[in-house]
Structure 1
């Protein structure tokens, strides 16, 4: 039975990879560009990109648009970065900490208590004198960072225990994203940082593999993790951007009018997403 399951799983995995490859290897004359996303359709990042896609479609006379694949349909964030890098996927929206695996300099945006509020972060990530070289630093590895987006203020949430001091985290296994900086951060906060893909977190808390996790207010609510980790502790330890990444060669092959649309409208996308996200924070809390 196990062998049969593994065989079927292998076929499904191969099909998924082939399908993803088909998405990205289409020539640049194709009209639909695919973007991987790990959150649901009502998330402000999804909605802001969908709005951007509508404007792109209008500006190009219906020839170009972006199709968003939510809920990790194309794989975990780390997997989709690799797919972007090898040309199997045009775009992905990924957590900032994951890009440390390609360039450790991205860690400067992922350190606790760097930004005083979301407006501070918004100004910095649109300032090309600050982020220009960093966003281009992965192009020799096949990845271009198009922009940074707001992903809320991250807080620790737990299954059974309130967290008011670092001592309260002692002995607790808390999920963090798959980055050394995030693991070390949680360890220094007093707990045990446990890296894990987002798709596994709900079940891991539910079954006791984890004692909790840390995430922003909107994601916590959107993924219904309050059902298994109902104690949301306002630690406010991190305000870390997400990034839209693209395959460098693919993006450079796009028609000039499409590239110009991105150049002219990417800051407006950032502003729209920041405001949408902030509106969702109080609702989620």
Structure 2
């Protein structure tokens, strides 16, 4: 069972983060939230649509949402800049990108951070962990107010499957432009190749790459399943999507409107998680039956052992290490 963050907890944290204006300034007014997002899977799009429906319902129409979907206003980096400039009110971006704005988010890019899916959900719904992370960008004009599941990143390869750490030795694997991702791959014996996502299909097809790493939709929606043979469920990263709102917009909402927005985010997350699971199950079926790609699981313990130097280095950054310790403690009985 996925426990929602309570609106009361979020509201209390929000009030502690921002100096609220006078009671008169907090008088309720009609507000239209401009929400922009980049290309996303259908469960995320549906959840964002649901958020708009819920917030309008919960505020009796005093808060509405206008959407700018599918990278109409740019990629995720550009959308955060627009948020800071006040050109939009909300956006949804990868937690991996958020490391550029706050090092606390970098912890979520650490390899094999979560024990399993339920551990991930418990962490993301724990205000003792997430309130500090969300608030860490306040001085940059925006804060986090929620999350969506974006699945786990796994290896997919041509020719041979990944069954042991040794199978990765020397393989040319495409990775994101992320130092943590690059360091992770090197510790696993990979020769990491940073390239744009749109170049991956052809590079796999032509043998420039031996493989890549991403969630299931890379093989289905992006059709990478046409040019690879194996998909290994090692789950080396599980990076959340983060919902952001500008400080200015948050402070313009009345107390009741703010509570309604937070409740709508929570409910949309509950729905997104359910539909994400269904979509992943369907994608795995499609990967095997339509694309003929074999799916295999591995014992992740040797993989985790290989990347331990990353965690040892984390100890030199106390704030990030404290978040890591809290995350690992969540699953401790």
Matches of 1:31 and 1:187 in 2, distance apart? 47
Kindly provide the CA deviation profile for residues 19-74 of structure 1, in whole angstroms up to 9, marking residues without a partner as x.
xxxxxxxxx9563522213224xx2111122112112233344450242512x343
SS of corresponding position for 1:275:
helix
For the residues of structure 1 that align with 2:194 and 2:90, how far apart are their CA atoms? 24
d(CA) in 2 for partners of 1:161, 1:88: 48
Tell me, yes or no, if the aligned pair for 2:104 and 2:136 is still in contact at 8 Å.
no
The aligned counterpart of 1:253 is 252
Partner of 2:106: 107
TM-score (norm. length: structure 2): 0.68
The count of aligned residue pairs is 255
Gaps of 5+ in 2: 1-28, 285-333
Alignment check: 8 A CA contact 1:92 1:244 kept = yes
Q: Return the alpha-carbon distance in structure 1 between the equivalents of residues 88 and 207 of structure 2.
A: 35
* C-alpha displacement of 1:130: 1.4
What is the CA distance between 1:257 and its match in structure 2?
4.3
Q: Which residue of structure 1 lines up, in the alignment, with residue 35 of structure 2?
A: 34
The one-character-per-residue Cα deviations of 1:60-103 (angstroms, maximum 9, x if unpaired) are 44450242512x34333233233323333332222212111111
Give the C-alpha shift of residue 128 in structure 1. 0.9
Instruction: State the alpha-carbon separation in 2 of the partners of residues 183 and 44 from structure 1.
Output: 29
Question: Which shifted more, 96-105 or 187-196?
Answer: 187-196
- Secondary structure in 2 matching 1:75: coil
Alpha carbons 1:126, 1:267 under 8 Å: kept: no
Structure 2 contact 170–191 (Cα < 8 Å) conserved: yes
Residue 88 (1) aligns with residue 80 (2)? no
Distance across 2 between alignment mates of 1:36 and 1:79: 10
Which has the greater radius of gyration? 2
- 2:195 and 2:237 mapped to 1: Cα distance? 18
C-alpha displacement at 1:284, in angstroms?
Answer: 0.8
- Listed as ranges, the matches of 1:1-285 within 5 Å are 31=32, 33-40=34-41, 43-62=42-61, 64-67=64-67, 69-70=69-70, 72-206=71-205, 208-285=207-284
Deviation at 1:204, TM superposition (A): 4.4
Q: What is the CA–CA distance in structure 1 between the aligned matches of 2:228 and 2:250, rounded to whole Å?
A: 40
Could you give the per-residue CA deviations for residues 235-271 of structure 1, whole angstroms, max 9, x where no partner exists?
A: 2212221111222223333455432212223222222
Q: Deviations over 1:129-173 (max 9, x none)?
A: 111111101010122111122111210112444222333333333
Instruction: Indicate the RMSD between aligned Cα atoms, in angstroms.
Output: 2.6
Say whether the 8 Å CA contact 2:156–2:231 is kept in structure 1. Answer: yes
8 A Cα contact 1:91 1:247, kept in partner: yes
